[in-house]
Amino acid sequence: MKIQRPRGTQDFLPEEMAKRRFIESKMRKTVESWGYQEIQTPIFESLYLFTLRSGDTIIDQSYIFDDKGGRKLILRPELTEPVTRLYVEKLQADPKPLKLYYFSNCFRYERPQKGRFREFWQFGVELIGSDRPEAEVEVIALASSVLDNIGLKGDLHVGHLGALRSLIGDLSDEQKNAIIRSIDKRDYEGLRTYLDEIGATALEENIRALIKSEDIKEARETVGDVPALERLEDISDQLDLYGISHKIDFSVARGLEYYTGMVFEIYAEGLGTENQICGGGSYRLAHLFGGEDTPSTGFAFGFDRVIMALGDIKLPQQTKVMIVSTKEQREWARTKVAPRIRKYFPTEVDLMDRDINGQLSRANAIGATHVVIVGERELQKGEEFVTLKGMKTGEQETLTMEEAIKRIRLDEV
Ligand code: HAM
């Protein structure tokens, strides 16, 4: 019987992994250059953390289990709530705003399809403690900068939940959330049925008009001059100053229930229905977890979708050295030459007792850029000597190890 990996999970082979790490490091560099610092939280949390505010959808989609002590636990479906828990536990006294980032796996029991997994990776930031529009704008600008730096184009849509809430303010929280959920799923039929069910049919026309509005002026015609629209206008003007193109979109409702104001999503081409590569917005959660009421803004990229949207990723060529030796010099090559070269470049030695030709084919197979040959002839010149062969040029020259290292370095630039 062959055992297969669980549905909705992924294996990453070395080549794929190298590409993922390459993109990940660019994303890290970007957020670090804006002053964000990395944190890590546990892979499972107390279930309670997510039942307070995430919403039913996310709970329905989660891996929930009891541990041997009878505690109700959950594999994290996202990171905003764990980060807020950590903030309340350990970082509340720190100078504001706090700028945190993470790259972690998340788990959602969804129906797997292209771009939708049960284990996937999120790369995200949380900017905690500022209520200013500048902070919200920075978070959006940062997401846009991440995309620029990895060379991916995305369509940025920015909205504000306050506009919709001003229309449905009289309903209960449960009803509001149900409406926001249908809008998030673009399930307008379901929305109509639900509004009929709760006796709020009259709201439909205005809700539809709002989510169809293409700009703030149009939205004002439906909801009037509410503060949410003023705020969104300010955010939009500031994004223009950054030179970040964006679309005002009141149908951005977000699937998670903790958002309180500005919300945004980024979509990439070529991914089919699961084209949302980033989602974020402003929220208040700290007071629910025993802390002080704290305004925060953040986003998370779906890293797997980012990688899919990038398609072919060209990695910079990496120097790799294979030490090739005659039988008699094998020990010397492995224990004295290789360690010296390995200090500077990834270096491999023969482990299969192959002859010179066999070792040279291995060098080809592993994509070695250079071969360092250690044989009788080299050692006769002195213990320091090796023959360096450039795999690209085919040129070879007998040099001291120090010279060989310098020569390999020169080939790198
Ligand atoms: P989210 O929109 O639920 O937001 O997830 C963020 C991103 O994770 C999505 O845009 C998508 O690219 C990716 N994603 C979600 N589910 C899957 C899946 N099943 N397979 C592959 N990728 C997926 C959040 O999680 C919020 N915590 C974001 C945030 C941070 N808001 C404020 N701060």
User: Would you state the pLDDT for residue 58?
Assistant: 82
Judge contact between 294 and 129, C-beta under 8 A: yes
Q: Rounded to two decimals, what is the model's pTM?
A: 0.94
Q: What is the arrangement of strands in the sheet containing 247-248, beginning at the earlier edge strand?
A: 37-38, 98-107, 119-128, 295-302, 276-284, 259-267, 155-160, 247-248
In angstroms, the CA 131 to CA 249 distance is 22
According to the model, what pLDDT value does residue 348 have?
98
The residues, ordered by sequence, that sit 6+ positions from 318 with a Cβ below 8 Å of its Cβ are 346, 369
Which residue do the tokens 């720190």 mark?
A: 94
Nearest alpha carbon, ligand 1 atom 1: 279
- 288 DSSP assignment: G
Ligand 1 mean position, distance from CA 106 (Å): 9
As beta bridge partners, residue 325 has 374
Identify the pLDDT of residue 53.
Answer: 82
What pLDDT score was predicted for residue 255?
Answer: 81
> What span, in angstroms and rounded, lies between the C-alpha atoms of 108 and 78?
9
Give residue 383's identity as a one-letter amino acid code.
E
Q: How far apart are CA 124 and CA 76, in angstroms?
A: 14
Residue 266 alpha carbon, nearest atom of ligand 1: 10
Q: Is residue 90 within 8 Å of 61, Cβ to Cβ?
A: no
pLDDT value at residue 256: 87
Residue 300 Cα to ligand 1 midpoint, Å, equals 6
Q: Are the C-beta atoms of residues 137 and 106 closer than 8 Å to each other?
A: no
SS3 301: strand
pLDDT value, residue 270: 86
pLDDT in tens, the chain (413 residues): 899 999 999 999 999 999 999 999 999 999 999 999 999 999 999 999 999 887 777 889 999 999 999 999 999 999 999 999 999 999 999 999 999 999 999 999 999 999 999 999 999 999 999 999 999 999 999 999 999 999 999 999 999 999 999 999 889 989 998 999 999 999 999 999 999 999 999 999 999 999 999 999 999 999 999 999 999 999 999 999 999 999 999 999 988 889 999 999 999 988 989 999 999 999 999 999 999 999 999 999 999 999 999 999 999 989 999 999 999 999 999 999 999 999 999 999 999 999 999 999 999 999 999 999 999 999 999 999 999 999 999 999 999 999 999 999 999 87
Closest to 133 measured CA to CA, from 31, 256, 15, 233: 233
Pocket mutation for ligand 1, best pick of 276, 277, 282 (most atoms within 8 Å of C-beta): 276
Cβ of 78 closer than 6 Å to ligand 1, yes or no, is yes
Is the Cβ atom of 157 under 6 angstroms away from ligand 1? Answer: no
Outline where 224-300 has alpha helix (H). Answer: 227-242
Residue 291 has what pLDDT?
97
